[in-house]
Amino acid sequence: MKKKIIPIVVLLVLVGGGLAYWLSGHGKRQLKLTGEVEGTVYSHVAEVTGKIVDMKAELGGPVKAGDLIARLDNTDEKYALEQTQSELQKARLTLQDLRNGAKQEDLDKARSDVSIAEANYRSAGASYNQARDNFERLSQLKDTGGLSQSELDNANLQVTVSNEALGMAKNQVDKAKEQLSLLIKGADDETLGIAEENVRETESKIRQMQDTLKKFDITANCDGVVISKNYNMGSVVSAGYNLVDVSADNEKYVVCYVPKEDSMRLSYGQNLSVRFGKAECQAPIRFIDVKSQYTPKDMQTSVMKNKVSVKVKLLLPAGTALIPGNKVEVVLNR
């Protein structure tokens, strides 16, 4: 009789101990899932066309918001701004002379400005014709395979730049002639009004040119890591083309797939454990897909094989030493 009771007592003790172990929290089952790090990627697109004269971004290198990514050649634009600032100075002097009465020396200077502007226009025209003819010649070489695309792009850029310079030179001729005409007419109300409007338009043009000049410096719009680099020093970049992609430091996520039956216990903002190497962190849930799917093969574990799952995204803490593409382990307590 005693031999039969002893095993039953031992069994009850073991069951009771196991139940206590489970209730104490030490017996929780854990589901370990494969997760992959992905980041929010920001493109850095050129807003103007130009040749890269300074390239700071390095593939895989860190950047801070505001750091210089690349600088495009702005020589012609800076020269054009200086010319327009000179025009503004002349326009203001013309307005002042009209209010005070024009002097002969002012008229002589205005005529000289017209002559200089016309000479600059003829020179710009010759440069444009030369650039256009050179581009047409190189286009023929490209068709026969005797020229690289980058050389043709450089020639086309010279045509664009010289054409813009020609237009600006023509505008300078018109402005110089207009100022001379205003001085000759004298200071009636209509003439003064035209001179004042000329000053305002030139001031507005300068502000616009200054804003455009800022676009020749492409700067990082977030802290992060350069994950793609599409151009190098000396490349010609067209407006609208992406120079580099930066993965933002503070917007890195872990993507994992949770079995459908377990996903019902998840909620937005809930923290899950993320393990990588010997490190571990808590990451809140920021996305739970409303649609279920089969777990992708590269994210499957033995317990997830051929199972229907739900895609979940966890936001990693800022400064976590992980980069897009890293594999991690996500732990879910059942």
Whether residue 205 sits in one domain with residue 81:
yes
Residue 325: per-residue pLDDT: 87
- Residue 11 inside a domain? The answer is no
Residue 254: per-residue pLDDT: 96
> Is the distance from CB of 218 to CB of 46 less than 8 angstroms?
yes
Whether residue 204 sits in one domain with residue 148:
yes
Whether residue 195 sits in one domain with residue 81:
yes
Per-residue pLDDT of the chain (334 residues; tens, 9 = 90+): 444 444 443 333 333 343 333 333 344 578 889 999 998 899 999 999 999 999 999 998 999 999 999 999 999 999 999 999 999 999 999 888 888 877 778 888 888 999 999 999 999 999 999 989 988 888 887 777 777 788 888 888 888 889 999 999 999 999 999 888 888 877 778 888 889 999 999 999 999 999 999 999 999 999 988 989 999 999 999 999 999 999 898 889 999 999 988 888 899 999 999 999 889 999 999 999 988 888 787 776 666 666 789 999 999 998 888 888 899 999 988 7
Nearest to 111, CA basis, from 102, 123, 122: 102
H or E, element range at 92 = helix 75-100
Residue-range definition of the domain harbouring residue 57: 43-72+217-246
Q: Token digits for 56?
A: 């700071």
CATH no. for residue 289? 2.40.30.170
Residue 72: per-residue pLDDT: 96
- Residue 150 inside a domain? The answer is yes
CA-to-CA separations, 177 to 82, 91, 181, 191, 279, in angstroms, rounded: 19, 12, 6, 14, 74
Beta-carbon-side half-sphere exposure of residue 49 (alpha carbons within 13 Å): 10
Whether residue 291 sits in one domain with residue 241:
no
> Is the distance from CB of 315 to CB of 284 less than 8 angstroms?
yes
- Residue 7 inside a domain? The answer is no
CATH no. for residue 79? 1.10.287
DSSP structure string for 301-313: -TTTTT-EEEEEE
Interacting residues of 3 by C-beta distance below 8 A, sequence separation 6+: none
Question: Helix, strand or coil for residue 144?
Answer: coil
- Residue 15 inside a domain? The answer is no
Whether residue 207 sits in one domain with residue 278:
no
> Is the distance from CB of 98 to CB of 175 less than 8 angstroms?
no
Whether residue 97 sits in one domain with residue 137:
yes
158-178 burial string, b = 16+ CB within 10 Å, else e? bbebbeebbebbbbbbebbbb
- Residue 3 inside a domain? The answer is no
Whether residue 240 sits in one domain with residue 251:
no
Task: Quote the number of domains for the chain.
Answer: 3
Residue 113: per-residue pLDDT: 92
CATH no. for residue 63? 2.40.50.100
Query: Which letter does DSSP use for residue 230 in this model?
Result: -
Whether residue 198 sits in one domain with residue 80:
yes
Whether residue 162 sits in one domain with residue 84:
yes
Give the separation between CA 201 and CA 161, rounded to whole angstroms: 23
Whether residue 194 sits in one domain with residue 89:
yes
- Residue 240 inside a domain? The answer is yes
Whether residue 278 sits in one domain with residue 251:
yes
Residue 28: per-residue pLDDT: 56
Whether residue 257 sits in one domain with residue 210:
no
- Residue 17 inside a domain? The answer is no
pTM attached to this predicted model = 0.63
- Residue 210 inside a domain? The answer is yes
